[in-house]
Structure 1
Amino acid sequence: MPRYKEFDPKDCLDKVMYLFWQKGYQNTSMSDLVEHSGVQRYGLYETFGGKEVLFQRALDLYLSTVIHQRLAMLERKQPEPSVAEIEQFFEQFIEHVDRPYSFFGCLMCNTAVEVALHDKIVASMVQQYFDRLRQGFARSLTRAKQNGEIADSTDIGQISELLVGSVLGLTTYARSSAPRQDVRTYINGILAMLKLL
Protein backbone atom coordinates (compact mmCIF):
# COMPACT_ATOMS: atom_id res chain seq x y z
CA MET A 1 0.00 0.00 0.00
CA PRO A 2 1.53 3.38 -1.01
CA ARG A 3 2.44 5.79 1.74
CA TYR A 4 2.53 9.52 1.43
CA LYS A 5 4.43 12.18 3.32
CA GLU A 6 2.61 13.46 6.37
CA PHE A 7 1.44 17.05 6.17
CA ASP A 8 -0.46 19.61 8.21
CA PRO A 9 -4.04 19.73 6.86
CA LYS A 10 -4.56 23.26 8.21
CA ASP A 11 -1.47 24.58 6.48
CA CYS A 12 -2.43 22.75 3.30
CA LEU A 13 -5.97 24.15 3.33
CA ASP A 14 -4.63 27.66 3.87
CA LYS A 15 -2.45 27.34 0.76
CA VAL A 16 -5.34 25.88 -1.21
CA MET A 17 -7.64 28.73 -0.14
CA TYR A 18 -5.18 31.34 -1.41
CA LEU A 19 -4.80 29.50 -4.71
CA PHE A 20 -8.56 29.36 -5.30
CA TRP A 21 -8.79 33.01 -4.24
CA GLN A 22 -6.15 33.98 -6.78
CA LYS A 23 -7.12 31.78 -9.73
CA GLY A 24 -10.78 30.89 -9.19
CA TYR A 25 -12.37 27.46 -9.17
CA GLN A 26 -12.44 26.77 -12.91
CA ASN A 27 -8.86 27.89 -13.52
CA THR A 28 -7.43 25.78 -10.70
CA SER A 29 -6.65 22.19 -11.61
CA MET A 30 -5.81 19.30 -9.30
CA SER A 31 -2.27 19.55 -10.64
CA ASP A 32 -2.17 23.19 -9.53
CA LEU A 33 -3.42 22.18 -6.09
CA VAL A 34 -0.78 19.47 -5.79
CA GLU A 35 2.01 21.83 -6.86
CA HIS A 36 0.90 24.75 -4.70
CA SER A 37 0.17 22.74 -1.55
CA GLY A 38 3.15 20.41 -1.86
CA VAL A 39 0.82 17.48 -1.10
CA GLN A 40 0.47 14.52 -3.45
CA ARG A 41 -2.83 14.02 -5.25
CA TYR A 42 -3.76 10.90 -3.25
CA GLY A 43 -2.98 12.76 -0.02
CA LEU A 44 -5.40 15.53 -0.99
CA TYR A 45 -8.10 13.05 -2.00
CA GLU A 46 -7.72 10.95 1.13
CA THR A 47 -7.76 13.95 3.48
CA PHE A 48 -10.23 16.29 1.80
CA GLY A 49 -11.91 14.49 -1.08
CA GLY A 50 -11.98 15.81 -4.63
CA LYS A 51 -11.57 19.33 -5.93
CA GLU A 52 -15.22 20.24 -5.28
CA VAL A 53 -15.09 19.32 -1.59
CA LEU A 54 -11.68 20.94 -1.24
CA PHE A 55 -13.12 24.15 -2.66
CA GLN A 56 -16.02 24.07 -0.19
CA ARG A 57 -13.55 23.59 2.67
CA ALA A 58 -11.52 26.54 1.35
CA LEU A 59 -14.67 28.70 1.32
CA ASP A 60 -15.41 27.65 4.91
CA LEU A 61 -11.90 28.70 5.91
CA TYR A 62 -12.25 32.02 4.09
CA LEU A 63 -15.56 32.72 5.85
CA SER A 64 -14.14 31.90 9.28
CA THR A 65 -10.92 33.90 8.86
CA VAL A 66 -10.88 36.66 6.23
CA ILE A 67 -14.62 37.40 6.31
CA HIS A 68 -14.85 37.08 10.10
CA GLN A 69 -12.11 39.69 10.47
CA ARG A 70 -13.55 41.91 7.74
CA LEU A 71 -17.03 41.96 9.31
CA ALA A 72 -15.91 42.19 12.95
CA MET A 73 -16.87 45.85 13.36
CA LEU A 74 -20.35 45.28 11.88
CA GLU A 75 -21.10 42.15 13.89
CA ARG A 76 -19.94 43.22 17.33
CA LYS A 77 -22.50 43.29 20.12
CA GLN A 78 -21.29 46.14 22.33
CA PRO A 79 -21.24 48.94 21.51
CA GLU A 80 -23.61 48.34 18.63
CA PRO A 81 -22.25 49.50 15.26
CA SER A 82 -23.42 52.64 13.49
CA VAL A 83 -22.41 54.65 10.39
CA ALA A 84 -18.83 54.92 11.67
CA GLU A 85 -18.50 51.13 11.49
CA ILE A 86 -19.84 51.01 7.92
CA GLU A 87 -17.25 53.63 7.00
CA GLN A 88 -14.57 51.62 8.77
CA PHE A 89 -15.65 48.52 6.84
CA PHE A 90 -15.11 50.25 3.48
CA GLU A 91 -11.98 52.09 4.61
CA GLN A 92 -10.24 48.77 5.21
CA PHE A 93 -10.39 48.18 1.43
CA ILE A 94 -8.48 51.44 0.88
CA GLU A 95 -5.79 50.19 3.26
CA HIS A 96 -5.28 47.07 1.14
CA VAL A 97 -5.83 48.39 -2.38
CA ASP A 98 -2.10 48.77 -3.16
CA ARG A 99 -1.18 45.30 -1.94
CA PRO A 100 -0.69 42.54 -4.54
CA TYR A 101 -3.53 40.40 -3.17
CA SER A 102 -6.04 43.21 -3.81
CA PHE A 103 -6.03 41.90 -7.38
CA PHE A 104 -7.54 38.67 -6.01
CA GLY A 105 -10.77 40.53 -5.20
CA CYS A 106 -12.92 38.62 -2.69
CA LEU A 107 -13.14 34.84 -2.82
CA MET A 108 -16.86 34.90 -1.89
CA CYS A 109 -17.73 37.56 -4.48
CA ASN A 110 -15.62 35.86 -7.15
CA THR A 111 -17.41 32.62 -6.36
CA ALA A 112 -20.82 34.31 -6.54
CA VAL A 113 -20.10 35.16 -10.17
CA GLU A 114 -18.15 32.05 -11.19
CA VAL A 115 -19.56 29.02 -9.38
CA ALA A 116 -22.65 29.74 -7.28
CA LEU A 117 -25.14 29.54 -10.14
CA HIS A 118 -24.14 25.92 -10.79
CA ASP A 119 -23.62 24.52 -7.27
CA LYS A 120 -26.29 24.61 -4.55
CA ILE A 121 -23.87 24.06 -1.67
CA VAL A 122 -21.57 26.83 -2.85
CA ALA A 123 -24.57 29.09 -3.55
CA SER A 124 -25.68 28.59 0.04
CA MET A 125 -22.25 29.59 1.34
CA VAL A 126 -22.19 32.70 -0.83
CA GLN A 127 -25.69 33.58 0.35
CA GLN A 128 -24.53 33.20 3.94
CA TYR A 129 -21.89 35.85 3.29
CA PHE A 130 -24.33 38.24 1.61
CA ASP A 131 -26.81 37.72 4.47
CA ARG A 132 -24.13 38.60 7.02
CA LEU A 133 -23.26 41.73 5.06
CA ARG A 134 -26.91 42.73 4.73
CA GLN A 135 -27.61 42.15 8.43
CA GLY A 136 -24.48 44.02 9.49
CA PHE A 137 -25.36 47.04 7.36
CA ALA A 138 -29.00 46.98 8.49
CA ARG A 139 -28.03 46.82 12.20
CA SER A 140 -25.64 49.72 11.75
CA LEU A 141 -28.14 51.84 9.83
CA THR A 142 -30.89 51.11 12.36
CA ARG A 143 -28.62 52.26 15.17
CA ALA A 144 -27.64 55.33 13.16
CA LYS A 145 -31.29 56.23 12.67
CA GLN A 146 -31.97 55.82 16.40
CA ASN A 147 -29.00 58.11 17.13
CA GLY A 148 -30.17 60.74 14.64
CA GLU A 149 -27.08 60.23 12.47
CA ILE A 150 -29.12 59.63 9.32
CA ALA A 151 -32.47 60.92 8.13
CA ASP A 152 -35.65 59.31 9.49
CA SER A 153 -36.76 58.82 5.89
CA THR A 154 -33.77 56.57 5.09
CA ASP A 155 -34.95 53.24 3.71
CA ILE A 156 -32.73 50.84 5.65
CA GLY A 157 -33.52 47.81 3.48
CA GLN A 158 -32.79 49.73 0.28
CA ILE A 159 -29.50 51.21 1.50
CA SER A 160 -28.39 47.87 2.97
CA GLU A 161 -28.92 46.22 -0.41
CA LEU A 162 -27.11 49.08 -2.15
CA LEU A 163 -24.13 48.53 0.15
CA VAL A 164 -24.13 44.76 -0.44
CA GLY A 165 -24.07 45.44 -4.18
CA SER A 166 -21.31 47.98 -3.63
CA VAL A 167 -19.15 45.32 -1.97
CA LEU A 168 -19.64 43.01 -4.96
CA GLY A 169 -18.89 45.85 -7.38
CA LEU A 170 -15.89 47.05 -5.42
CA THR A 171 -14.21 43.67 -5.11
CA THR A 172 -14.86 42.88 -8.78
CA TYR A 173 -13.40 46.25 -9.75
CA ALA A 174 -10.38 45.61 -7.53
CA ARG A 175 -9.82 42.26 -9.28
CA SER A 176 -9.70 43.96 -12.67
CA SER A 177 -6.73 45.71 -14.26
CA ALA A 178 -8.18 49.10 -13.26
CA PRO A 179 -5.57 51.53 -11.87
CA ARG A 180 -5.44 51.35 -8.09
CA GLN A 181 -6.21 55.06 -7.86
CA ASP A 182 -9.50 54.46 -9.72
CA VAL A 183 -10.43 51.72 -7.26
CA ARG A 184 -9.56 54.05 -4.39
CA THR A 185 -11.77 56.76 -5.93
CA TYR A 186 -14.63 54.26 -6.18
CA ILE A 187 -14.34 53.46 -2.48
CA ASN A 188 -14.22 57.15 -1.61
CA GLY A 189 -17.42 57.56 -3.62
CA ILE A 190 -19.15 54.98 -1.41
CA LEU A 191 -17.90 56.82 1.69
CA ALA A 192 -19.15 60.14 0.27
CA MET A 193 -22.57 58.61 -0.36
CA LEU A 194 -22.78 57.54 3.29
CA LYS A 195 -22.31 61.17 4.34
CA LEU A 196 -25.48 62.08 2.42
CA LEU A 197 -27.81 59.69 4.27
Structure 2
Amino acid sequence: MARTGRPRGFDKGKTLERALELFWSRGYGATSIQDLVEALAVERGSLYGTFGDKRSFYLEAVRHYWEVYERRLTAALDTDPLLPALREILTHPARLDELISDFGMPNGCLVGNTTAELVPHDSEATEIVARSYRRFTDLVTDALRRAQAAGEVTDDTSPEAQAQLLLYVVQGLSLVSRAGVDRKAALAAVDAVIAGLRA
Protein backbone atom coordinates (compact mmCIF):
# COMPACT_ATOMS: atom_id res chain seq x y z
CA MET A 1 0.00 0.00 0.00
CA ALA A 2 1.33 3.44 -0.91
CA ARG A 3 2.34 5.62 2.00
CA THR A 4 0.25 8.75 2.36
CA GLY A 5 0.30 11.83 4.49
CA ARG A 6 3.17 13.81 5.86
CA PRO A 7 6.47 11.90 6.02
CA ARG A 8 8.33 11.52 9.29
CA GLY A 9 10.61 14.48 9.85
CA PHE A 10 8.59 16.80 7.62
CA ASP A 11 9.26 20.36 8.79
CA LYS A 12 6.91 22.90 7.24
CA GLY A 13 9.14 25.88 7.98
CA LYS A 14 12.30 24.34 6.56
CA THR A 15 10.39 23.00 3.57
CA LEU A 16 9.00 26.47 2.87
CA GLU A 17 12.51 27.95 3.10
CA ARG A 18 13.89 25.44 0.59
CA ALA A 19 10.94 25.98 -1.74
CA LEU A 20 11.43 29.74 -1.51
CA GLU A 21 15.03 29.34 -2.68
CA LEU A 22 13.90 27.22 -5.64
CA PHE A 23 11.11 29.60 -6.66
CA TRP A 24 13.46 32.55 -6.17
CA SER A 25 16.16 31.16 -8.44
CA ARG A 26 13.90 29.74 -11.16
CA GLY A 27 10.72 31.79 -11.02
CA TYR A 28 7.13 30.69 -10.62
CA GLY A 29 6.46 29.53 -14.17
CA ALA A 30 9.70 27.58 -14.57
CA THR A 31 9.27 25.66 -11.31
CA SER A 32 7.05 22.60 -11.52
CA ILE A 33 5.52 20.58 -8.72
CA GLN A 34 7.84 17.74 -9.72
CA ASP A 35 10.81 20.10 -9.34
CA LEU A 36 9.61 20.84 -5.82
CA VAL A 37 9.04 17.18 -4.99
CA GLU A 38 12.55 16.28 -6.10
CA ALA A 39 14.31 19.27 -4.55
CA LEU A 40 12.49 19.05 -1.23
CA ALA A 41 12.43 15.25 -1.00
CA VAL A 42 8.80 15.43 0.08
CA GLU A 43 5.93 13.43 -1.36
CA ARG A 44 3.60 15.21 -3.75
CA GLY A 45 0.60 14.45 -1.53
CA SER A 46 2.32 15.97 1.48
CA LEU A 47 3.05 19.16 -0.44
CA TYR A 48 -0.54 19.47 -1.62
CA GLY A 49 -1.87 18.63 1.84
CA THR A 50 0.31 21.22 3.55
CA PHE A 51 0.59 24.05 1.04
CA GLY A 52 -2.15 23.48 -1.53
CA ASP A 53 -1.41 23.77 -5.25
CA LYS A 54 1.74 25.28 -6.73
CA ARG A 55 0.29 28.79 -6.87
CA SER A 56 -0.72 28.71 -3.19
CA PHE A 57 2.70 27.31 -2.28
CA TYR A 58 4.43 30.06 -4.24
CA LEU A 59 2.36 32.85 -2.71
CA GLU A 60 3.07 31.52 0.78
CA ALA A 61 6.76 31.56 -0.08
CA VAL A 62 6.47 35.18 -1.25
CA ARG A 63 4.72 36.16 1.99
CA HIS A 64 7.44 34.46 4.00
CA TYR A 65 10.14 36.18 1.95
CA TRP A 66 8.60 39.56 2.68
CA GLU A 67 8.22 38.86 6.40
CA VAL A 68 11.95 38.10 6.65
CA TYR A 69 12.87 41.09 4.47
CA GLU A 70 10.69 43.45 6.49
CA ARG A 71 12.33 42.40 9.76
CA ARG A 72 15.75 43.06 8.27
CA LEU A 73 14.62 46.34 6.73
CA THR A 74 13.19 47.54 10.05
CA ALA A 75 16.42 46.72 11.85
CA ALA A 76 18.52 48.44 9.18
CA LEU A 77 16.42 51.60 9.31
CA ASP A 78 16.67 51.82 13.09
CA THR A 79 20.15 53.33 12.89
CA ASP A 80 21.72 56.74 13.23
CA PRO A 81 22.92 58.11 10.88
CA LEU A 82 20.37 56.81 8.39
CA LEU A 83 22.02 57.47 5.00
CA PRO A 84 24.67 54.72 5.29
CA ALA A 85 21.90 52.23 6.08
CA LEU A 86 19.87 53.42 3.09
CA ARG A 87 22.93 53.03 0.87
CA GLU A 88 23.32 49.45 2.12
CA ILE A 89 19.67 48.70 1.32
CA LEU A 90 19.91 50.19 -2.17
CA THR A 91 23.26 48.63 -3.12
CA HIS A 92 22.27 45.09 -2.14
CA PRO A 93 21.08 44.13 -5.66
CA ALA A 94 24.33 45.46 -7.11
CA ARG A 95 26.50 43.17 -5.00
CA LEU A 96 26.27 40.34 -7.49
CA ASP A 97 28.83 38.19 -5.73
CA GLU A 98 26.35 37.81 -2.85
CA LEU A 99 23.24 37.26 -4.96
CA ILE A 100 24.21 34.67 -7.57
CA SER A 101 21.71 31.88 -8.05
CA ASP A 102 22.36 28.33 -9.22
CA PHE A 103 21.91 29.60 -12.77
CA GLY A 104 24.76 32.09 -12.50
CA MET A 105 22.49 35.12 -12.43
CA PRO A 106 21.32 37.24 -9.50
CA ASN A 107 17.94 36.31 -8.06
CA GLY A 108 16.73 39.88 -7.68
CA CYS A 109 13.88 40.64 -5.27
CA LEU A 110 11.22 37.92 -5.05
CA VAL A 111 8.47 40.53 -4.63
CA GLY A 112 9.75 42.37 -7.70
CA ASN A 113 10.00 39.12 -9.63
CA THR A 114 6.40 38.35 -8.69
CA THR A 115 5.39 41.77 -9.97
CA ALA A 116 7.00 41.02 -13.32
CA GLU A 117 5.64 37.49 -13.61
CA LEU A 118 2.15 37.46 -12.05
CA VAL A 119 0.92 41.06 -11.64
CA PRO A 120 -1.69 42.25 -12.58
CA HIS A 121 -3.27 39.02 -13.84
CA ASP A 122 -3.28 37.31 -10.42
CA SER A 123 -5.31 39.36 -7.95
CA GLU A 124 -3.90 37.68 -4.85
CA ALA A 125 -0.33 38.15 -6.02
CA THR A 126 -1.14 41.78 -6.83
CA GLU A 127 -2.46 42.31 -3.30
CA ILE A 128 0.66 40.76 -1.73
CA VAL A 129 2.96 42.88 -3.88
CA ALA A 130 1.04 46.10 -3.29
CA ARG A 131 1.00 45.52 0.47
CA SER A 132 4.74 44.81 0.48
CA TYR A 133 5.50 48.00 -1.43
CA ARG A 134 3.28 50.00 0.93
CA ARG A 135 5.11 48.57 3.93
CA PHE A 136 8.46 49.46 2.37
CA THR A 137 7.45 53.07 1.75
CA ASP A 138 5.78 53.40 5.17
CA LEU A 139 8.87 52.15 7.01
CA VAL A 140 11.28 54.21 4.95
CA THR A 141 9.07 57.31 5.24
CA ASP A 142 9.14 57.08 9.03
CA ALA A 143 12.93 56.71 9.02
CA LEU A 144 13.36 59.62 6.62
CA ARG A 145 11.06 61.81 8.70
CA ARG A 146 13.27 61.17 11.73
CA ALA A 147 16.40 61.87 9.68
CA GLN A 148 14.92 65.13 8.37
CA ALA A 149 14.14 66.23 11.91
CA ALA A 150 17.73 65.43 12.88
CA GLY A 151 19.07 67.52 9.98
CA GLU A 152 20.69 64.56 8.20
CA VAL A 153 18.31 64.40 5.23
CA THR A 154 17.10 67.30 3.12
CA ASP A 155 13.57 68.50 3.72
CA ASP A 156 13.30 70.05 0.25
CA THR A 157 10.91 67.21 -0.58
CA SER A 158 8.53 65.23 1.60
CA PRO A 159 9.72 61.98 3.22
CA GLU A 160 6.84 60.22 1.46
CA ALA A 161 8.15 61.27 -1.96
CA GLN A 162 11.70 60.36 -0.99
CA ALA A 163 10.59 56.91 0.16
CA GLN A 164 8.71 56.35 -3.10
CA LEU A 165 11.83 57.27 -5.05
CA LEU A 166 13.87 54.77 -3.04
CA LEU A 167 11.31 52.05 -3.74
CA TYR A 168 11.64 52.71 -7.48
CA VAL A 169 15.43 52.67 -7.24
CA VAL A 170 15.74 49.45 -5.26
CA GLN A 171 13.16 47.59 -7.35
CA GLY A 172 14.55 48.91 -10.64
CA LEU A 173 18.09 47.97 -9.73
CA SER A 174 16.95 44.56 -8.53
CA LEU A 175 15.17 43.88 -11.82
CA VAL A 176 17.98 45.19 -14.03
CA SER A 177 20.56 43.18 -12.07
CA ARG A 178 18.92 39.96 -13.23
CA ALA A 179 20.08 40.71 -16.77
CA GLY A 180 23.58 41.55 -15.57
CA VAL A 181 24.73 44.89 -14.28
CA ASP A 182 27.87 47.01 -14.32
CA ARG A 183 28.52 46.92 -10.58
CA LYS A 184 30.59 50.11 -10.61
CA ALA A 185 27.94 52.03 -12.55
CA ALA A 186 25.16 50.72 -10.32
CA LEU A 187 26.97 51.78 -7.16
CA ALA A 188 27.66 55.20 -8.66
CA ALA A 189 23.94 55.60 -9.39
CA VAL A 190 23.05 54.67 -5.81
CA ASP A 191 25.61 57.15 -4.51
CA ALA A 192 23.98 59.85 -6.65
CA VAL A 193 20.61 59.08 -5.06
CA ILE A 194 22.08 59.19 -1.57
CA ALA A 195 23.83 62.49 -2.34
CA GLY A 196 20.49 63.92 -3.41
CA LEU A 197 19.01 63.04 0.00
CA ARG A 198 21.81 64.58 2.04
CA ALA A 199 20.97 67.82 3.81
Is this contact kept in 1: 2:108–2:178, CA < 8 A?
Answer: yes
SS in structure 2 opposite 1:118?
coil
Mind listing any 5+ residue stretches in structure 1 that lack a counterpart?
A: none
Query: Are positions 1:52 and 2:66 aligned together?
Result: no
Partner of 1:129: 132
Tell me, which stretches of 5 or more residues in structure 2 are unaligned? none
RMSD of the alignment, in Å? 2.4
The answer for the alignment partner of 2:89 in structure 1 is 89
With 181-190 and 33-42 compared, the bigger mean Cα shift is at: 181-190
CA shift digits 1:136-180 (9 cap, x unpaired): 221122112212223333232222211111111011122112344
Q: Deviations over 1:46-75 (max 9, x none)?
A: 12110011011111211222342244222x
Deviation at 1:36, TM superposition (A): 1.6
CA distance in 1, matches of 2:155, 2:188: 29
1:159 paired with 2:159, answer no
Q: Which residue type is aligned with residue 167 of structure 1?
A: V
> TM-score under structure 1 normalisation?
0.84
Would you say the 8 A contact 2:118–2:125 is kept in 1? yes
1:174 pairs, out of 166, 173, 177, with 177
Q: Name the counterpart of 2:2.
A: 2
1:97 aligned partner, one-letter code? L
| Alpha carbons 2:20, 2:61 under 8 Å: kept | yes
- Pair 1:37-2:36 in alignment: no
* Displacement after TM superposition at 1:126 (Å): 1.0
Superposed, 1:80-119 pairs within 5 Å as: 82-93=82-93, 96-99=95-98, 100-101=100-101, 103-119=106-122
- Alignment of 1:22 with 2:25, yes or no, is yes
Q: How many corresponding residue pairs?
A: 192
- Contact 1:80 / 1:143 at 8 angstroms: preserved in 2? no
Show the counterpart of 1:192: 195
The TM-score, its normalising length taken from structure 2, stands at 0.83
**Matches of 1:151 and 1:181 in 2, distance apart?**
26
Task: Answer yes or no: is the 8 Å Cα contact 1:80–1:140 preserved in 2.
Answer: no
Report the more deviating stretch, 124-133 or 60-69: 60-69
Aligned partner of 1:147 in structure 2 is 150
In the superposition, relative to structure 1, how do residues 2 and 81 fare at CA in structure 2: closer, same or farther (>3 Å)?
A: farther
Distance 1:20 1:186, change over 3 A: farther
The 1:35–1:70 alpha-carbon spacing in structure 2 relative to 1, beyond 3 Å, is farther
Distance (whole Å) between structure 2 residues aligned to residue 45 and residue 116 of structure 1: 24
**Structure holding more helix per residue:** 1
Instruction: Give the whole-Å Cα distance in 1 for the aligned partners of 2:184 and 2:32.
Output: 33
Identity %: 29
